[in-house]
Each structure stands twice: as structure tokens, then as C-alpha cells.
Amino acid sequence: MTDTLVFYSGPDPFEAWRDALAPHLGDTVKIENADKVTDPESVRFALVWMPPDGFFARFPNLELVINLGAGVDRLVARDDLPDVPITRLSDPEMGKMMAGFVLFSVLRHARDIPYFEAAQARREWAYKHPRAATEISVAILGLGELGALAATEVARQGFQTYGWATRARDLPGVTVEYGDDALLTLLGKVDIVVSMLPLTKATRKRLDAAAFAAMKPGASLINVSRGEVVDEDALVEALRIGHLSGATLDVFEAEPLAEDHPLWTLPGVLITPHLASVALPKSAAPQIAANIRAAQTGGTLANTVSRVHGY
């Protein structure tokens, strides 16, 4: 019997993923879009991004759930997730795309771009002497697959680069701090804070009023991970009173961001609609296929997710 891989995603096109995966999977795995599955009992693998409630109940023989992305918060929070291994993508192109977006955002603040945009709106030639990267410090919170690559890229540009995670690790050019107690001190010594933390019980609203108060006056925030890691009311207040000079925000507590949300119009804030990085079929297909093969042959899965830790 041929095994079936069921695909579900709102934003990602089925055809592109099927065409990228087919050459790697050969004849032993049939790839079907969720609404076209002919034999639910043959489905052993699911490649999904935010499937609807009750989705998994249709497939009694599932052996592996592959999250079509890096962030698994929505998936692991579900109460209908079958008791099978979960893997996530760890796509090198996705990592590059994210590192590029983080670098752009760091440079936006380091090179005072919000200041020049405001001056341009006033038709004002407002010279402000640039600072060297070596004079500017950046903290990357979360040094995972994407966070570590972004931190290395920021360090490569010459910024004083710090990282924060749950444990110590070596990253070239990055001073790594770890553990809960280290966070506020770290926030107090850098000019730019980048959230690359997954959303878990421990990180929900981790960047709250106390965290913003601990940040240097005039510092800026970049959030490319999950909106719920930030207490948005506290962020709005920190920006409103001018304690923070700006923010680059790709993710929000509620998406799409409501039309009347104060973040749209606060000075120095750039809003992008959750696109810092996306999963790319061609570069992600080999690792997805390798995990399916591993599941078929009893091999070792890569990029597994811990349900206990939530990432």
C-alpha cells in the first residue's frame, strides 16, 4: 500500500509543495491536498500550517506531523494533536531570509532611518552624523535555528552583539547570556533589542513594562518572532512617552493588526505583515522528504519539537 502525505496550509500553494516534494519522495508516498484525500486510512504523514480544529481526527494512522514553518506555538497548543512526533522546518533559505530581514531592521535603527523619514516628510535636510556599527550594541533574544544565524550576521557587520537563550553556547562574535536572571541586565546595556523567541508559556509577554523600563532610553525594539512575546500595551506606552525611540514589528498579538491600533501611527514604528521569512518549497523539500523516509524506515528524525518546552 502507498503511504499518503496530507498537505494543509492557508497561505502556501499545494501545487508548489507537491511539485517540490515529488522528486524526493518517489512512488512510495502519494501527496494529497487535505480536501482531496481519497483514503484517509492511508495517511501516515501530515505537512501542515495551522489546520482547522478537528483536522487530525480524520487520519487514524498518522505517524508524523511536519509543521510547515519554524514556529510551532499554534500546533503544540492544540488539544487535538495526535501523540506522534512533531518536526518543524529548518530550511537554510528561510534562515537566510530571516537573517536578512533582521539585518535590515537593525540597520534601520542603527542608521537613524526613522529620523530621516520624518525629516523627509517635512522636506528638511536634517544631517545627523552616523555612528559606527562598533559603537552600537544589539541583543538577539533567542538563539535557535533562525536566531543564531541572525545574531552571527549582525555580529559580522561589526555591531557589539549579545545573545540570550536558556543555556550557554558558543557563537562567533556573539556574547551569549543565559537564564531568566540575565535578561533585565542585558536589556539595560544595548541599543537595539531583537525578539527571536518562540512563543511558549515562559516567553508569553516576556517583554513587558518592566522589560521596557529596563531598556536604555532611546533604545529600539525589533520583533520578528511572535506578537504575544511582547506586552503590546506596554510597548505602546514605552513608545508614546519616548522611552523607546522606535520599533520594527513584523508580528502582533492579533493579526491582521486592527486598523485603529495605535502602533500604526506612533513615530519611528515600521509595521510589516508577518513576512520576515517564509518556508520555501525547493529548499525545504529535501529535509521534509528525509524525515518521511526516516519515519518509514525507523530512522532518526531531524528537527523534532519538544512538546514539553513548546519549541
| Chain mean position to CA 296 | 29
Q: According to the binding rule CB under 6 A, does residue 144 interact with ligand NDP?
A: yes
The residue nearest ligand NDP at its CB is: 144
Q: Is 226 a catalytic residue?
A: yes
**Helix pair angle (281-297, 92-110), 10° resolution:** 140
Selecting among 156, 204, 243, 274, the annotated active-site residue is 274
Q: Which is nearer to ligand NDP, 18 or 206 (CB)?
A: 206
| Chain mean position to CA 291 | 22
Selecting among 226, 240, 293, 309, the annotated active-site residue is 226
Site string for ligand NDP, 74-113 (x = CB under 6 A): ----------------------------------------
Cβ atoms 145, 70 nearer than 8 A: yes
**Helix pair angle (113-121, 92-110), 10° resolution:** 60
Q: Which is nearer to ligand NDP, 51 or 71 (CB)?
A: 71
Among 112, 145, 231, 232, binds ligand NDP (CB under 6 A): 145
Q: Is 293 a catalytic residue?
A: no
- Which string of b and e fits 172-183 if b means at least 16 CB within 10 Å? eebebbbeeeeb
Among 37, 62, 143, 239, binds ligand NDP (CB under 6 A): 143
Residues β-bridged to residue 4: 30, 43
Geometric angle at alpha carbon 230, from 226 and 234, rounded to 5°: 155
Geometric angle at alpha carbon 80, from 79 and 84, rounded to 5°: 105
Q: Which is nearer to ligand NDP, 133 or 149 (CB)?
A: 149
Q: Which stretch binds ligand NDP (CB under 6 A): 26-34, 57-65, 253-261, 271-279?
A: 271-279
Q: Which is nearer to ligand NDP, 43 or 247 (CB)?
A: 247
Q: Which stretch binds ligand NDP (CB under 6 A): 115-123, 198-206, 232-240, 280-288?
A: 198-206
Site for ligand NDP in 209-238 (CB under 6 A): 224-226
Q: What does the radius of gyration of the chain's CA atoms come to, in whole angstroms?
A: 21
Cβ atoms 183, 202 nearer than 8 A: no
The span from the CA of 162 to the CA of 148, in Å, is: 11
Q: Which is nearer to ligand NDP, 71 or 246 (CB)?
A: 71
Alpha-carbon dihedral sign for residues 107, 108, 112, 117: positive
C-beta of 104: minimal distance to ligand NDP in Å? Answer: 13
Among 28, 166, 185, 304, binds ligand NDP (CB under 6 A): 166
* Residues 6+ away with beta carbon under 8 Å from 231: 205, 207, 208, 209
C-beta of 281: minimal distance to ligand NDP in Å? Answer: 15
C-beta of 222: minimal distance to ligand NDP in Å? Answer: 11
Count of residues in contact with ligand NDP, rule CB under 6 A? 30
The span from the CA of 232 to the CA of 306, in Å, is: 27
Residues that bind ligand NDP (CB under 6 A): 69-71, 142-147, 164-167, 196-200, 202-203, 224-226, 250-251, 274-277, 311
Q: Which residues are catalytic?
A: 226, 274
